[in-house]
Amino acid sequence: QVQLAESGGGLVQAGNSLRLSCAASGETARNSATAWFRQAPGRDYEFVAAIRWSGGSTHYADSVKGRFTISRDGAKKTMYLQMNSLKPEDSAVYYCTHGNGVILSSIRSKSAYAYWGQGTQVTVSS
């Protein structure tokens, strides 16, 4: 079992920055990955970014590439999502997720991640 706890959401003006954190506890397997998904009202979950715990390779949605950075601190078992140049369309509930044995072709797929945090609200005003 893996437990995830997000923090760092809030209300910001467009153009500003926020950093989300996700603290993980429990056992993680090899080839595991942690990802952020987001869901805006009335819309489906959207992949944002993912990072592998071993090796640290990263993947981003085109909509956030160049603005968001995902990173992790292995010693603290914490993942971060630095969000810069925020836009109103970035407003959503952001979920930290974790999957064991995530293969490359599934790294952007919601179904690859069995463990989800409770979500944190990010609101960007124009």
Q: What is the DSSP string of 9-31?
A: -EEEETT--EEEEEEEEE---TT
pLDDT in tens, 106-124: 999 999 999 999 999 999 9
How much is the pLDDT for 54?
84
How much is the pLDDT for 125?
97
Radius of gyration of the chain (CA): 13
Do residues 50 and 58 touch, judged by C-beta distance below 8 A?
Answer: yes
How much is the pLDDT for 59?
97
pLDDT in tens, 67-108: 999 999 988 889 999 999 999 999 999 999 999 988 889 999
Count CB atoms within 10 A of the CB of residue 75: 6
More confident residue, 54 or 4: 4
pLDDT in tens, 14-60: 999 999 999 998 876 767 899 999 999 999 999 999 999 888 899 99
